[in-house]
Amino acid sequence: MSTTAKTSGLGWTTLSVDDASGTPEAIKNDIVSVQIGTPRAVWDVTGIDKSAIERILLLADCSVTLQTIFNPASTPSSHDVFSTVPSTSVARTTTMVIAAKTLASEILYTDYPLARSNSGELTAAVPGVLATGVVPLWA
């Protein structure tokens, strides 16, 4: 008889992102949703002798989008972390822990796009991509 350890996405232990000076900031309280991608590039190597596509896996990648609520409070806040994205060119260690599984990668955040909805919410969907060439691993 097998047991299951399935879990929801509730109750994240850690979501921290380095600020521009390299200090990790715990901003999970400001994050309302997360999208994480760890895709692999593929190379189409299909010969003319094939009737279906033949592929080879290539490089690994990682991308994240953090949906934040605008919080101008003092550190730690998502605004403190991401407001420097337009003026700095630094990779930021991003660490996520859920159900004792950790994904930590060096991420280049590329935008801090604040948006105000017609009902008044002020949010940002902050995109980031892998910076270092180190394969992203859930540990």
User: For the chain, which residues make up each domain, given as ranges?
Assistant: 14-130
Q: How confident is the model at residue 1 (pLDDT cuts 50, 70, 90)?
A: low
Question: Residue 125 pLDDT > 80, yes or no?
Answer: yes
pTM: 0.88
103, 130 Cβ separation under 8 angstroms = no
Average pLDDT of the chain, as a whole number: 94
Q: Which residue has the higher pLDDT, 11 or 108?
A: 108
Joined tokens for residue 121: 């919410």
| 3-state DSSP helix/strand/coil % of the chain, to nearest 5 | 5, 45, 50
The predicted-structure confidence for 50-91, as pLDDT tens digits, reads as follows 999 999 999 999 999 999 999 998 778 999 999 999 999 999
Q: How confident is the model at residue 3 (pLDDT cuts 50, 70, 90)?
A: confident
133, 106 Cβ separation under 8 angstroms = no
Q: Where are the beta strands (DSSP E) in the chain?
A: 14-18, 24-26, 31-37, 40-44, 55-60, 63-69, 92-98, 101-109, 114-116, 122-130
Q: Is the dihedral of CA 137, 93, 121, 9 positive or negative?
A: positive
Cα 8–38–30 angle (5° rounding)? 55
Rg (CA), the chain: 18
